[in-house]
Structure 1
């Protein structure tokens, strides 16, 4: 009787270990759909009986908005996502329902196939691991050959049965949820962003560059434009904007459509309320101008970057769990919206050259001049971490879409330097670029445009 109890305990322990090891060892399965490579596997087991899966996008680990049954849910990796023109079948053109349905079926079938292959391999690994462990147990007990075979077979069968009940049955139900994914955007739970891009934008005009984006691109806080339009005034566009410097330093005609406070949802793809006006979405307006290139400066407002700097200065626990969680939540929403923006651009027929700007560091070289405001070197290190995370999303998304990036550097010209490229804390627009800072950004964009072959 005592031996049977020991055997039962050993079988239970082996079963638990085999299932845990299998979930760790089973390789993610690569599938091809609509020109993409997506890796499918399992997220870490959950204690709840239903909930979201996981998806990795532009270096961020996100929860899916789709709930899956069971404690074992899909994990999807999109780190090598290629935002190719084949995505046009998923997002446009309007009315091409047959092509869209075919692309959706291809994506759904590929995801389900990858998930099923993952589960088959996981079952085989459970059997192999339980066989090895049970063999080790009976070897340690020095049983007879016949007794050892019986115990090993029972152990493997119990482990396989438990795995089928605890993992395979519940996980296989996730296939239906995977069939609800109709696009790359819905896979990551990207929200529908208002507005549509022109289906057939006019031909590119050689030498015309349009800048769209936020207050960094608008150049707020610098000297005003000569003869500004009502939109210029509402958006706080100035003569110190990098678009103005780029036009002066090159033969390109540069149009600045950027607007202070713009985000992807309210500014680039959707209307924006600013200065008592309802402003049209920047990206459709830029495309209607038929530019040879579009420069995009976006993300700071989407993640609440200015708010995070103020929060870090005010709170003694800057970088604590609460502020870090808030920033990461904002960054995840931005990654989803950024995917929508990039996908829309890649789905355009004959799109213009697109340059994605990353953000400069306003505080390189120490914190002496802002120490009395509560911004210490430790806090600057935390701000640098947040800034790097935002720029990583921008860079990885641009790489996925095959768009060049421009990376302006303010090294040696930070806020506390003798010759700062950012406005002072007491300036019109604290930490925003000065006219000299705008020129530094313009030179980075000029180099990116020349490298991209923009005429």
Structure 2
């Protein structure tokens, strides 16, 4: 009995995920558990983040669905139904994948039990008949336990999987409302469009020479990296970035700042139908990076369980919104080149000068870890969509160096890039644009 239980436990961890392809998507299906609670969510892995499903499953083992290959197009959210219309193709294939996984798990559990019991029989020098009887009993018991765990106790899992007809069926996200028509003047000569938050807006640097009310509300600067890109590429660049923007509040929906309503950046992007490239700098506000930094400055330490749980929740929500943004960008008319900009490290290797602001070297390391996880999501999502990424290099120019690329606490936009830092970002984007366009990672076409 002990060997059988151990074999089933090992089989859950050793059984390879089953590949399921449907609607242009590739899903690797495995299980999580065993769980102590009888009912609970499964897991969807999106850009490296574990997202709990809104649909519940019964039993000690629950599905774990990892999106390995993604086609960013209508197929992602509108899976084709079978002629009868009662069962979605995606649900049927997920249920088939679950049965295949359960079968492989049972076979592996039996194999592990057989290997262990044969070794025991040899070490104890049992007679052949006793050894065969022991092995047969162990294999039968391990197979039975595995089948009970995945097929009997989780018998409603295939039914729940069959009811899923889209990604939203797993995570409970409502489809994005259509974008309104652009409001600003046409920009037919624009070669590149910049979307994003205060980093892309250039907050804290020199103001524009003749700013509009929208420019002032969004804190757009004459030293934003879009201005440097315009000089480097010798072609007009349109900067739509706005301070405080998130994917939902700024890029996909309108944003109100100080009484000024700023239209959705993705809608205004259509003012430049001839743009051959788009850069995106987004994510810090979505994960509430500023609030995390303030929390770390006021607490004796940061990186405790509560802070980690808060960041995990923000990053999970961002991953879902980021998927929607990537889908919208992939559907742009003309298929412009897309570059996703990762975030710079404002602290660098030294943080000894930040003690008065409440940032110790240990706290800086924790914040750097959070930033690295955000950048990993940005990078994995871009790679899945076949977009490029740009990573600004601030090495040797952190806050505590002689020539910082980051504004200090006494400046207008602390932790934001200086004019020199904006130039470093522009150079990183320019390098990415000069490289060949990458192919979407791990995409497959449904049979």
TM-score class, shorter-chain normalisation, is 0.7 to 0.9
Give CA-to-partner distance per residue, 1:73-94, whole Å, 9 cap, x none: 111222x33334xx323447xx
| Map 1:3-22 → 2, pairs under 5 A | 12-22=1-11
> How many angstroms apart in 2 are the aligned matches of 1:196 and 1:100?
28
**Cα shift at 1:26:** 1.5
The answer to whether the aligner puts 1:81 opposite 2:69 as a matched pair is yes
**Cα shift at 1:98:** 6.9
Instruction: Give the structure with the larger helix fraction.
Output: 1
Counterpart for residue 312 of structure 1: 296
SS at match of 2:410: coil
Counterpart for residue 196 of structure 1: 178
Counterpart for residue 6 of structure 1: none
Counterpart for residue 4 of structure 1: none
The answer to whether the aligner puts 1:240 opposite 2:223 as a matched pair is yes
| Map 1:47-86 → 2, pairs under 5 A | 47-78=36-67, 80-84=68-72
1:398 to 382, 387, 393: 382
Give CA-to-partner distance per residue, 1:91-132, whole Å, 9 cap, x none: 47xxx9879999x93432332222110001112223333444
Task: Between 107-116 and 260-269, report the one with greater CA deviation.
Answer: 107-116
Aligned residues: 431
The answer to whether the aligner puts 1:225 opposite 2:208 as a matched pair is yes
Counterpart for residue 343 of structure 1: 327
User: In 2 relative to 1, CA 349–110 (structure 1 residues): closer, same or farther, beyond 3 Å?
Assistant: farther
**Cα shift at 1:404:** 0.7
Task: Between 156-165 and 420-429, report the one with greater CA deviation.
Answer: 156-165
Counterpart for residue 3 of structure 1: none
User: In 2 relative to 1, CA 281–340 (structure 1 residues): closer, same or farther, beyond 3 Å?
Assistant: same
1:214 to 175, 190, 197: 197
Task: Between 267-276 and 355-364, report the one with greater CA deviation.
Answer: 267-276
> How many angstroms apart in 2 are the aligned matches of 1:403 and 1:190?
26
> How many angstroms apart in 2 are the aligned matches of 1:147 and 1:398?
59
The answer to whether the aligner puts 1:415 opposite 2:399 as a matched pair is yes
**Cα shift at 1:351:** 2.3
In structure 2, the gaps of 5 or more residues are: 438-447
> How many angstroms apart in 1 are the aligned matches of 2:236 and 2:228?
11
**Cα shift at 1:368:** 2.7
SS at match of 2:382: helix
**Cα shift at 1:47:** 0.7
Counterpart for residue 278 of structure 1: 261
Give CA-to-partner distance per residue, 1:186-221, whole Å, 9 cap, x none: 44x26336432589xxx9957521111111111111
> How many angstroms apart in 2 are the aligned matches of 1:349 and 1:414?
39
SS at match of 1:54: strand
**Cα shift at 1:283:** 0.9
User: In 2 relative to 1, CA 193–36 (structure 1 residues): closer, same or farther, beyond 3 Å?
Assistant: closer
User: In 2 relative to 1, CA 273–97 (structure 1 residues): closer, same or farther, beyond 3 Å?
Assistant: farther
RMSD of the TM alignment (CA)?
A: 2.9
**Cα shift at 1:281:** 1.4
> How many angstroms apart in 2 are the aligned matches of 1:441 and 1:151?
67
Counterpart for residue 33 of structure 1: 22
The answer to whether the aligner puts 1:46 opposite 2:35 as a matched pair is yes
| Map 1:281-360 → 2, pairs under 5 A | 281-290=264-273, 291-360=275-344
Task: Between 209-218 and 241-250, report the one with greater CA deviation.
Answer: 241-250
Query: Given that residues 297 and 359 in structure 2 are in contact (C-alpha distance below 8 angstroms), is that contact kept between their aligned partners in structure 1?
Result: yes
Task: Between 370-379 and 347-356, report the one with greater CA deviation.
Answer: 347-356
> How many angstroms apart in 1 are the aligned matches of 2:58 and 2:218?
47
User: In 2 relative to 1, CA 356–204 (structure 1 residues): closer, same or farther, beyond 3 Å?
Assistant: farther
Q: What TM-score results when the alignment is normalised by the length of structure 2?
A: 0.87
The answer to whether the aligner puts 1:450 opposite 2:438 as a matched pair is no
> How many angstroms apart in 2 are the aligned matches of 1:213 and 1:323?
26
Query: Given that residues 339 and 387 in structure 2 are in contact (C-alpha distance below 8 angstroms), is that contact kept between their aligned partners in structure 1?
Result: yes
Query: Given that residues 30 and 114 in structure 1 are in contact (C-alpha distance below 8 angstroms), is that contact kept between their aligned partners in structure 2?
Result: yes
Task: Between 269-278 and 345-354, report the one with greater CA deviation.
Answer: 345-354
Query: Given that residues 222 and 435 in structure 1 are in contact (C-alpha distance below 8 angstroms), is that contact kept between their aligned partners in structure 2?
Result: yes
Q: What TM-score results when the alignment is normalised by the length of structure 1?
A: 0.86
**Cα shift at 1:54:** 2.0
